[in-house]
Amino acid sequence: MESLLLIFKALSDRNRLRILHALVAQKELCACQITELIQVTNATASRHMGVLINANLVQRRKKGRWVYYQLHTENQGVENVFTWIEKKLKEDPEALLDLISLEEITRCGPEEICKKHKTLKFCSKQ
């Protein structure tokens, strides 16, 4: 009962659902990329990631200063939740916009977006 509640609570926030969806699409993301995607402070993004980890939906690995997050696919039975979310958001406008942003964030971004540029530079060091 507790683990189910943790999962549902974790996913009942819009930004966390967006993060989860992004991880379905992109397998692994760095903290700064997530921060950029959902447009909150790094502190808020970090808090959110803690909730997803605590719910056993996401895993974390550290490489130097950088922290990378992936879906916790070894968590039994949770994979169909990920599939279900992917399916449900397949044609959702907001979710599609996120995927477009994600492309930019994880690829060479425009130089005028100083923060994004920095983000790309650091994260491609993996």
Partner DNA sequence: TGTTTATTTAGCCAAGTGTCTAAGTATTAT
Partner DNA sequence: ATAATACTTAGACACTTGGCTAAATAAACA
Residue 65: how many other CB atoms lie within 10 Å: 9
d(CA 95, CA 78): 20
DSSP helix/strand/coil, 30: strand
The structure tokens listed for 121 are: 């530079």
d(CA 59, CA 49): 9
Residue 83 engages DNA in binding (rule: CB under 7 A): no
CB closer to a second copy out of 77 and 110: 77
CB closer to a second copy out of 32 and 49: 49
Span 34-73, contacts to DNA by CB under 7 A = 35, 40-51, 60, 62, 64-67
**Shortest separation between residue 39's beta carbon and DNA, angstroms:** 7
| Contact set with a second copy (CB under 8 A) | 1, 3-5, 8-9, 11-14, 17, 77, 80-81, 84-85, 87-89, 92, 94-95
